[in-house]
Amino acid sequence: MIKSITQLTFPSVGFWTVEAHDSNTNWKANMAITSTDSLNFKGYFEWSDGADRSGKEYFNGEFKSSEMEVLFIGYQLENDKGINIDNYRASLSKN
């Protein structure tokens, strides 16, 4: 589950810092949105657990503006070391 996205101009082409937690692992990622079409977008995460697991995960995404929710559907890995393709959900707030 993604805990935070540090900027609320969504979805727009650009870069964000993301934090996530699963299976007792704290993850950090640089997230890039590379293209957007209204509420749908494409991009990638560059994940790292700060130790030995890392990699780039490409995703397709959808922003549900009425719910302030973002869905990410992973579909491809690159330079992956100990990571898996997954789907993610994040809630955005105005502050």
pTM of the model: 0.83
Cα 39 versus chain centre, distance: 15
Half-sphere CA count of 31, side-chain side, radius 13 A: 25
Q: What is the pLDDT of residues 25-72, one digit of tens each?
A: 888 999 999 999 878 999 999 999 989 999 999 999 998 888 888 999
> CA 26, 58, 71, 39: dihedral to nearest 10 degrees?
140
Strand partners, 49: none
pLDDT tier at 74, thresholds 50, 70, 90 = very high
**Domain limits at 36?**
2-91
Q: What is the pLDDT of residue 9?
A: 56
Number of separate domains in the chain: 1
Average pLDDT over residues 21-25: 82
* DSSP three-state, residue 85: coil
**CA 20 vs CA 30, 35, 37, 89: distances in Å:** 11, 23, 26, 11
